[in-house]
Amino acid sequence: MRYIPHTPEDIAEMLSRIGVDSIEDLFVEIPESVRLNRCMDLPPPLAESELLCELRKLAGQNASVATHRSFLGGGAYNHFSPAAVDQLISRSEFYTAYTPYQPEISQGTLQAIFEFQTLICQLTGMDAANASMYDGASACAEAVLMSMRLTRRKKVLLSRALNPRYRETAATYSRYLDLQLVEVAIAADGRTDMADLAAKLDDETAAVVIGYPNYFGSVEDLAGVAEATHAVGANLVAAVAEPVALGLLKSPGELGADIVVGDGQSFGLPLSFGGPYVGFFAARQKGLRAMPGRLVGETTDLDGKRGFVLTLATREQHIRREKATSNICSNQGLCALIATVYLALLGKQGLRELAEQNHAKAAYAREQISGLEGFSLPFASPAFNEFVVRSDSGTDALLQKLQGQGFLAGIPLGSDYPELKDCFLVCVTEQNTRDEIDALVEALAGGAA
């Protein structure tokens, strides 16, 4: 079949039906100054075999965990996923499932989502979780909006140590909502500055949003932030970009968080150059009806058998638009299923062991790098599997040189944090062997020299 199966006669008939003379007439609203008045600069057509060769050549230019020893983090983490995950999710009833509007024919999908929600509640220490979000950044933005609805206030404090992508997304979501987003400074130890937080908290504050761990890998004093936040009647939102940390750290719910959001990419989802991932969103019972998205609940049928239904669906498709709390409408069910299968395979003890490996390997790398001449660690706070390194010789040329040697050694911080222009963020997961870490240390020493 031709790619565009419309004959000149077909086109003429359609144009006649809508009352225009030519296809060009459909673009009259677009100013001439922004139109491309020439053919697109595309290569000639290729045979399928030639095209595949060209695509492989282009793909070969990518630097990835398959071609380099990667120490990148910052919100996307290189974790091992068992082959059983791919095998189980490849069943056709899973990857073709859509939003389960009809529970009588969607019990499998509904139960899988219910299990995902249950696992998220267990991890976060919260009362209820929704049936997934697009990613951690949009989940964080939705938590800001939910806090505004719950408190009827319009001031939100965002820690400067929160993932920059999360902060940018929150700003985009609230651009036309008359929300006041206020940044809270970073303390000398790489965590949120408690004195600055206290100075900016007031009875107009709807929420405080803080990373756990934060963007620098530092473990925030969540209990202390919760106490200060609740004293003015605001919500504490804990954003967890690296949820493997919850296998080792106290849950945000235990420490006083009101809403916990994050990204489930670490739970079996491949890096895939940025997606698709799956966000999670959990909250206290008292705020349940203001939660965005949808929630699957357990019930019984007429015969008393256990069943699952969409218990809460506060989206435009289900209720009046002015009452909707969200327009999250894409089905992240398959990505949520991946996370569910992954966590079920690991189990509680397996997740803890995984977290301990991440922490121990990062601690070893941190110690080795701190002993190198020309390098230092600017932040002394407890960290999970990420940490910031300062280079006396700068970062851009160093990281570029190391990439040429087969290392993705870290993320330069200067573009998001000008005050850290000589620093980069290093992440170590269970995928990085001791030999790889030692090789990185050696390469850093040589690169600095």
* Rounded Cα distance, 207 and 210, in Å: 10
* Rounded Cα distance, 176 and 154, in Å: 12
**Mean of per-residue pLDDT scores for the chain:** 92
Give me the helix-helix angle, 396-404 and 434-448, nearest 10°: 130
CB 304 within 8 A of CB 279: no
What pLDDT does 275 receive? 87
What pLDDT does 43 receive? 87
CB 257 within 8 A of CB 249: no
Q: Is the pLDDT of residue 146 over 80?
A: yes
**Bond before 213 cis per omega within 30 degrees:** yes
Residues belonging to the chain: 449
Domain boundaries, the chain: 69-81+348-448, 83-343
Q: Is the pLDDT of residue 321 over 70?
A: no
Question: What tens digit of pLDDT does each residue of 397-433 get?
Answer: 999 999 999 999 999 999 999 999 999 999 999 999 9
* Rounded Cα distance, 335 and 279, in Å: 9
* Rounded Cα distance, 255 and 13, in Å: 66
- List the Cα angle 106/110/112 in 5-degree steps: 125
Average pLDDT over residues 330-346: 89
The 3-class SS string of 60-106 reads: CCCCCCCCCEECCCCCCCCCCCCHHHHHHHCCHHHHCCCCCCCHHHC
Question: What tens digit of pLDDT does each residue of 255-285 get?
Answer: 999 999 999 999 999 999 988 999 999 999 9
What pLDDT does 1 receive? 41
What pLDDT does 190 receive? 97
Q: Which residues are registered as beta bridge partners of 408?
A: 70
Write b or e for each residue in 123-133: b if 16 or more Cβ atoms lie within 10 A of its Cβ, otherwise e: bbbbebbbbbb
CATH number, domain 83-343, options 3.40.50.150, 1.25.10.10, 3.40.50.970, 3.40.640.10 = 3.40.640.10
| 411-412 sheet: strands from edge to edge | 375-376, 386-391, 423-427, 411-412
* Rounded Cα distance, 289 and 438, in Å: 51
CA atoms within 13 A on the CB side of 127: 12
Q: Please report, rounded to a whole number, the percentage of residues in the chain having pLDDT higher than 70.
A: 94
Residue 325 pLDDT class (50, 70, 90 cuts) = low
Angular region, 75: left φ>0, alpha ψ -120 to 50, beta rest: left
* Rounded Cα distance, 443 and 449, in Å: 10
* Rounded Cα distance, 130 and 113, in Å: 9
Lowest-pLDDT choice from 45-49, 206-210, 376-380, 438-442: 45-49
Residue 322 pLDDT class (50, 70, 90 cuts) = low
Question: What tens digit of pLDDT does each residue of 161-176 get?
Answer: 999 999 999 999 999 8
Provide the strand spans (E) within 383-422.
386-391, 407-408, 411-412
Q: Is the pLDDT of residue 96 over 80?
A: no
**Number of Cβ atoms within 10 Å of the Cβ of 170:** 27
Could you tell me which residue, 92 or 4, shows the higher pLDDT? 92
The structure tokens listed for 90 are 């490849």
In sign, the C-alpha dihedral spanning 375, 381, 382, 386 is negative
What pLDDT does 327 receive? 58
Alpha-carbon distances of 138 from 145, 161, 166, 267, rounded to whole Å: 11, 17, 7, 18
Terminal CA-CA length for the chain: 60
Q: Is the pLDDT of residue 189 over 50?
A: yes
Residue whose C-alpha is closest to residue 161's, from 241, 274, 247:
241
The structure tokens listed for 80 are 């091992």
Residue whose C-alpha is closest to residue 140's, from 294, 265, 261, 276:
261
CATH number, domain 69-81+348-448, options 1.10.150.20, 3.10.310.30, 3.90.1150.10, 3.40.50.300 = 3.90.1150.10
Could you tell me which residue, 158 or 273, shows the higher pLDDT? 158
Residue 91 pLDDT class (50, 70, 90 cuts) = confident
